[in-house]
Amino acid sequence: MRLALLTVVLFARVATSQPVQLQIRPHIGDTLRMHLSQTVEMTGTTAGARNDPVRSMTTSIEVFTRAIPQQWTSNGTLMQTITDSVAMSPSSPAALADLRRRAMQAKKVLLRVSTDGAMELVDDGDPNSELRHLFGEMPAVLSRSTVSVGEKWTREMQIPLSSEPGAVGAVRATFQLDSLGKNGDIAYISMRGTMYRINTPNAAPAGPGYGTTGQLAGTIQIDRRLGWITDSKSSIIVRSTVASPPSRQGEADPAGRSGAPADAGTHENHTVDKGDAGTMRLVHLADIHLGFKQYQRQTPTGINQREADVAMSLRRVIDKVIELRPELVLIAGDVFHTVRPTNPAILHAFLQFRRLMEMLPDSKVVMIAGNHDTPRTTETGCILGLFRSLGIRVVHGDAERIPYDEYDLSILAVPDMPGQHLVLEPDSTAKYNILLLHGEIEGVLPKYGRELDRSPMEITRKELGAERWDYVALGHYHVYRSVAPNAFYSGSLDYTSTNPWGELAEERELGIEGKGIIEHDLVKKTHRFHSLPPTRPWVDLTPLSGAGLSPASLDEAIRDALDNCEGGIEEKIVRLVVRDVPRHILRDLDHKALRDYKRKALHFHLDTRRPEIVRPEKGQAAPGRRASLADTVRDKLRSRQLTENIDREALVELGLHYLREADLVAGPTGEEAIA
């Protein structure tokens, strides 16, 4: 008995000491289970700042899945995967756990898993889903050669940085086969690694004093008999550092302004001196719409390209606000595009607003919820509450009056509150009164904006009473517009409405240079719109007329219009309107060339419009006499849109000739025979 036991022990030791091949190659038709657990801790500090607390945000996700291998391919195994259970537990007061869990749970996706452990989401019906961000970020982890217990191998991997659109983190990870269990069937692997930021063509420059580093640790469990990963746990710690901002008092800023304004102190017209009422510059922005998706084009890291564009627009705006260094920042709603934004959108917003608060520690920031931020049901919480931990004053649900005595200032913050009666009254005890409101002012929005967007709160001009306020900061309308001499919509930061071409046309008509933010000085009564065009160019080409053109001639006209586009159409969003195009001409266009144009541009929209129907004018027929069939044919052929090289009169004569021949074949009608 002892000899048999000793033989088993020796056999097990020999088995575990032999090099083994770690591969993911499951058997077709098996039902496999996998447990994924990931924790991400994001920590931010300000370099050189004194008494500045470290701010952090931790999110975790735990996923239980079933997978059925369907087919072996040269690139890996295609697997039908079903997400059975998802648990998310962020350490913030906002209800982040419910934002993505329901969308992921019980969802079927198709994965391609390579033998070295890399996973790629092939199709889940939504190219921007949370599952794509989860599985699409699982690079190759296994050694391509055999390994023994205790042996290590190193892999260089790249993962997207959710906080920085287009930016990529490089991870150098060391893996070790710790042990083999169950006679070598179960492999236990540990991993350790470091992460740093890589500058890519699609990423914004990190900027001076701004850095991102991180650490990765975790374990992987592989069932070699099944050829499958049964358990994976990872912990990622990301640290970001920003440079300490210059002092407001006595230290010059990059723009050359003194830290203390010349008119700081008691204002000569101030009734009650509560503090430094002599300086009061504000920046007004609105309608960020983070998480907005469009056109089904993706970045190399799997994020919708337009979503990344909008996130980049926010980053550039935050850079500009830090440069301006105002005393007050007003955010007039619609921070997110939906009440349940994706985790990358939430993290990007959190890090950008944290950067704003760290670089402008003395500035006040007030944020209200717009109609896109406001849940339709009371059971769903507002995600904007997350930003209170950064020191931002967030107002949602009900209006709130916010006093800042050091500036002799009172702000009435009114979020989207549809269906409620509003009484908008300034504070008589404050020198300066600001109304911050998200809604539609009577007679401002164009018809297309009212019909296509979710209805916001509506306010009449009388209810607004702009003349009673020192400044009125409005949100919801996506074009910079003045409602009164002191009341403005700042417009959106990117083209995220249901009709961006309507926005572009209105901006051209009003002479506005695209998107931007407002800088307003309450003391000096100065006002400036800072134009910050989005990084993605939008081009609305001069419309064409297709009247009388053959398919070949219209193809040539379209090609000439695109070839003459300044700077080309590559990676741009382009529209070409072509009027008076009959259906049969549209059908015979060169659709292969049109597909090539669409591949070159981020999005190319050929907006073709059929000819208007020309009806005979009243009184053309004799009084009391109904038009004959010959009259009808003649009128139709004379009003029909024709292609080039066709003689209209010859066509009319030919049509009437065919009609006469048809009458001869059919013979006289009953009435004509009686006559």
Residues 338 and 226 in one domain: no
Residues 483 and 543 in one domain: no
Instruction: Determine, yes or no, domain membership for 264.
Output: no
Mean pLDDT over the full length of the chain: 79
Q: 570 with 600: CB under 8 angstroms?
A: yes
Residues 513 and 566 in one domain: no
Which token pair is 103? 């969308």
Residues 501 and 575 in one domain: no
Please name which of 135, 60, 62 lies closest in space to residue 343, comparing C-alpha atoms: 60
- Collapsing DSSP states into helix, strand and coil, what is residue 526? strand
Residues 351 and 453 in one domain: yes
Q: What is the dihedral of CA 179, 138, 160, 500, to 10 degrees?
A: -160
Domain final residue, candidates 553, 576, 608:
608
- Collapsing DSSP states into helix, strand and coil, what is residue 557? helix
When pLDDT is cut at 50, 70 and 90, the band that residue 196 belongs to is confident
Burial 363-402 (b: 16+ CB within 10 A, else e): bbbbbbbbbbbbeeeeeebbbbbbbebbebbbbbeebbeb
| Least confident among 123-132, 189-198, 247-256, 358-367 | 247-256
Instruction: Determine, yes or no, domain membership for 616.
Output: no
pLDDT at residue 630, rounded to an integer:
79
Please name which of 229, 154, 148 lies closest in space to residue 186, comparing C-alpha atoms: 229
- Give the total number of structural domains in the chain: 4
Q: What's the average model confidence in pLDDT over 451-478? A: 83
Instruction: Determine, yes or no, domain membership for 624.
Output: no
Domain final residue, candidates 241, 267, 296:
241
**What is the pTM assigned to this prediction?**
0.60
d(CA 58, CA 44): 12
> Can you point out the beta strands (E) in 439-559?
440-441, 458-459, 471-475, 481-484, 487-489, 516-521, 526-531, 538-540, 544-545
pLDDT at residue 57, rounded to an integer:
66
Residues 85 and 192 in one domain: yes
Residues 416 and 545 in one domain: no
Residues 121 and 221 in one domain: yes
pLDDT at residue 37, rounded to an integer:
86
Domain final residue, candidates 477, 500, 531:
531
Residue 208 has pLDDT above 50, yes or no: no
Instruction: Determine, yes or no, domain membership for 296.
Output: yes
Q: Provide the residue count of the chain.
A: 675
d(CA 294, CA 298): 10
Residues 40 and 183 in one domain: yes
Instruction: Determine, yes or no, domain membership for 498.
Output: yes
Residue 330 has pLDDT above 90, yes or no: yes
> CATH number of the domain that 370 lies in?
3.60.21.10
DSSP class per residue in 376-408 = SSTTSPPGGGGGGGGT-EEE-SS-EEEEEGGGT
CA 592 to chain centroid: 30
Residue 326's domain comprises 280-531
Instruction: Determine, yes or no, domain membership for 259.
Output: no
pLDDT at residue 198, rounded to an integer:
63
pLDDT at residue 537, rounded to an integer:
93
Residues 109 and 148 in one domain: yes
d(CA 354, CA 212): 14
Residues 80 and 160 in one domain: yes
What's the pLDDT tens digit per position in 517-575? Answer: 999 999 999 999 999 988 899 999 999 998 888 899 999 999 999 999 999 999 999 99
> One-letter amino acid identity for 210?
Y
Residues 315 and 200 in one domain: no
Helix, strand, coil in percent for the chain, rounding step 5:
25, 30, 45
pLDDT at residue 209, rounded to an integer:
46
Instruction: Determine, yes or no, domain membership for 523.
Output: yes
Which token pair is 515? 């998107």
Q: Pairing relation of β-strands 400-404 and 544-545? A: unpaired
Instruction: Determine, yes or no, domain membership for 250.
Output: no
